[in-house]
Structure 1
Amino acid sequence: MSTLSAHTGLHPVPHRDPADRLAPLLARASAAEAVLKAFLLRWSIPALRVALGAVFVAFGVLKFIPGVSPVEPLVQATWGVLTFGLVGGQLAMVLTAVIETVAGVALISGVFARFGLVMLAVAFVGIFSPIVFFTSELVTAAGPTLLGQYIAKNVVLVAAALVVASRVLRGPRSTE
């Protein structure tokens, strides 16, 4: 009999490894993580597709209304450069609004998502062209202007479009 049990009448508790007590909790956490992963695999890219589409619809619709979009002068100037002066002014805004809105609606619907991605590819050419054509209006010695920041954030939209394209485009699926 141990000294503890002789003095107190208590029997010593067998030593249990703390990991033994954590094992059921870890198993439940692992199962919950697996459920979450399955949910994310099913819904994250469709959610990203709809969110991307909504962003393009929102910003595209603004361009239909003269004087509302903060990038109106830049859009008009970019179209002028890209089309060698053939398209500019309000026509440039309407064309941009149509491209962005149609792309957004196509992505939101999911039915025409491939078409929407093609429209986005066209839009991204126009969106990033000012970096080449109007650098001085986008970046100063102090850093990017507000307009430059507005364009720079589109890198995230391109990345989102690439993720959506990985699911939407035909071809072999990843085994991951």
Structure 2
Amino acid sequence: MTEETQSTALTTYREQFAAIDTRATELMDRWSIPMLRGSVAIIFIWFGALKPLGISPAAELVANTVYWMPPEIFVPILGVWEVAIGICLLYRPLIRIGLLLLFLQMVGTFLPVVLLPDVVFATFPYGLTLEGQYIAKNLVVIGAALVVGGTLREQ
């Protein structure tokens, strides 16, 4: 193969890669926010629905954190709140309400870090228990909510 042929082949591969890359990033741009919004909505609806049904693995943690309220009342109310967040995120005119409810709920999700550190940390301050990991994953939910909220003026 001559140097000119190699150069032409390399240029062709670069152009093909650029075309594929352009198409892939266009698809990601088109679908990333709806997918992110839908994913967060599903998580809230799913996890929230478990609470009134009495089958949430987080119910005990919630009950121990919000010890000043009867868990048989508070846990189902929290579940309905979470389902409402998810539904609001799915219905475009209600996204802002859903984000407000989400950020109010997130304050409560971090209460165990302060009120129950022995439940959250195996080794303070970096060794998380399973419950601590469940709480820490909410940082990703907060980030996703910020991204979704940051696009609301574009719609």
Q: Does 1:74 align with 2:61?
A: yes
Q: Which has the larger share of helix?
A: 2
Aligned counterpart, 1:26: 14
2:132 to 127, 143, 148: 148
Residue identity (%): 32
Q: Name which of 64, 68, 74 aligns with 2:52.
A: 64
Q: Deviations over 1:59-97 (max 9, x none)?
A: 00001112x1111122123333xxxx2x33111112211
How far apart in 1 are the matches of 2:88 and 2:52? 18
Deviations 1:82-117 (A, max 9, x none): xxx2x3311111221111100011112233111111
User: What is the Cα deviation at residue 159 of structure 1?
Assistant: 1.4
Runs of 4+ in 1 over 6 A off after TM superposition: none
Alignment match, 2:148: 164
Largest Rg, 1 or 2: 1
| TM-score, normalised with respect to structure 2 | 0.88
Tell me how large the CA RMSD over aligned residues is.
1.9
Cα separation, 2, equivalents of 1:131 and 1:70: 18
- Measured at CA, do residues 116 and 141 of structure 1 come closer, stay the same or move farther in structure 2, by a change above 3 Å? same
Aligned letter for 1:146? L
Alignment: residue pair count: 152
Partner of 1:133: 115
- The answer as to whether partners of 1:77 and 1:88 remain within 8 angstroms in 2 is no
Distance 1:29 1:132 in 2: 50
User: Residues 15 and 28 of structure 1: is their aligned pair in 2 closer, same or farther, counting only changes over 3 Å?
Assistant: closer
